[in-house]
Structure 1
């Protein structure tokens, strides 16, 4: 499966890539909806494919399991956050840019559904894929951080360590959001979690020199 390549190609406006990404999204949404309605153990691949209007063979061309399909939107979100960070103003302090890029992804109509999130973190068959989705945030973030700070994501420690800290903050924010009785939007909880690691980003510097 070539999820990352498809996401990258779609960002470059290729028609074929956009169609492939649209199919992935349709399958992922169908899988999530059916799992919420019936319970994960009661959902079959052929039912997901039918709900998305494709064949089971097409499903297998895109995903290796129903769990992977359900969690795909999280991988897609990680790619968008990386692009959002790259698009932040160059003179914006790094910690603020990261917080704004993260919050932007979850604001307004993008507010996560608590029932769906709770299923993702509590269902044994989904938890591993869900955590992989959060970890997948690290690569695009590290590259975006490196681009903003003039470092190299392959050679330098800073962009990858900070990206890993952001990924951990996102995971912790998810647990807090589900575990407590907070009424704050998830975007606010994520921004607060990012603020905890802000000193590390601030110590390195703000935007590009």
Structure 2
């Protein structure tokens, strides 16, 4: 890019996401045990989701999910507290992974852009599992009881993001700014997921998230009106 060329929020966000995919691919190390645990958790969640989609939330038990996933009920409860949590379980933000990803982003990058960079892998994973996430949203829509579980997870995620942003900026945990950043970025992600699901995935989720975070970074300017 020529010297003096202005960098728009969209260009900054996209450049940082490319940076994230390169750096995290090189620096992220995952031991065999951690990888196996992550795979087991994903298998349990996917199994629970598909069984509930087929039979209904009230007609599937933890024992049946465990048997179908090839593990014991005791193993199931090592990963999830209940059946409902397994159905929506992959929506939890991992605190340690988020901290590591934020730490890899240069310190002069603003908080919103830094979070978009840190979320790059999560967004890529969701997009890669489009059919599964679409099914999850359908299951939640058909089973309102799961909404409270999603709300609980959302609150937990906001607290995780708030703490990570506060640590990055050197602010006290009760400062308003990290909580505000966590709230607006969380809302942006939820909005993008909803738009992505409603469109049937016709637009890449990564593009929707890039646009949303660029709009946040720019102060949410009103979109141009089209006749």
TM-score w.r.t. structure 2 length?
0.67
Residue of structure 2 aligned with 1:128, choices 136, 139, 148: 148
**Whole-Å Cα distance in 1 between the matches of residues 43 and 58 of structure 2?**
20
Residue of structure 2 aligned with 1:64, choices 65, 73, 81: 81
Judge conservation of contact 1:120–1:130 (CA < 8 Å) in 2. Answer: no
**Which structure 1 residue ranges, 5 or more long, are not aligned?**
1-10, 201-209
How far did 1:70 drift? 1.5
**Whole-Å Cα distance in 2 between the matches of residues 20 and 100 of structure 1?**
25
Where do residues 101-140 of structure 1 align in structure 2 (5 Å cutoff)? Answer: 101-107=118-124, 110-113=128-131, 114-122=133-141, 123-140=143-160
Judge conservation of contact 1:104–1:187 (CA < 8 Å) in 2. Answer: no
Sort the Cα spacing of 1:187 and 1:135 in 2 relative to 1 into closer, same or farther, 3 A.
farther
Computing the radius of gyration from Cα coordinates, the structure with the larger value is: 2
Q: Decide which moves more: 158-167 or 140-149.
A: 140-149
Judge conservation of contact 2:45–2:87 (CA < 8 Å) in 1. Answer: yes
**Whole-Å Cα distance in 1 between the matches of residues 198 and 92 of structure 2?**
23
Q: Could you tell me which residue of structure 1 aligns to residue 45 of structure 2? A: 28
Q: Could you tell me which residue of structure 1 aligns to residue 11 of structure 2? A: none
Q: Could you tell me which residue of structure 2 aligns to residue 195 of structure 1? A: 214
How far did 1:49 drift? 0.6
Q: Deviations over 1:41-88 (max 9, x none)?
A: 432211111122222243345433211111111114676445433322
How far did 1:135 drift? 3.1
Q: Deviations over 1:138-191 (max 9, x none)?
A: 122222212322212x23211112111111222222222233466211222222
What is the number of residues matched between the two proteins?
A: 189
Sort the Cα spacing of 1:105 and 1:189 in 2 relative to 1 into closer, same or farther, 3 A.
same
**Which structure 2 residue ranges, 5 or more long, are not aligned?**
1-27, 220-227
Residue of structure 1 aligned with 2:195, choices 176, 190, 209: 176
Computed over aligned residues only, the root mean square deviation of the Cα atoms, in angstroms, reads: 3.2
**Whole-Å Cα distance in 1 between the matches of residues 165 and 195 of structure 2?**
26
Q: Could you tell me which residue of structure 2 aligns to residue 207 of structure 1? A: none
Q: Decide which moves more: 98-107 or 74-83.
A: 74-83
TM-score w.r.t. structure 1 length?
0.71
> Is the counterpart of residue 95 in structure 1 residue 112 in structure 2?
yes
Q: Which has the higher contact order (CA 8 A, sep 6+)?
A: 2
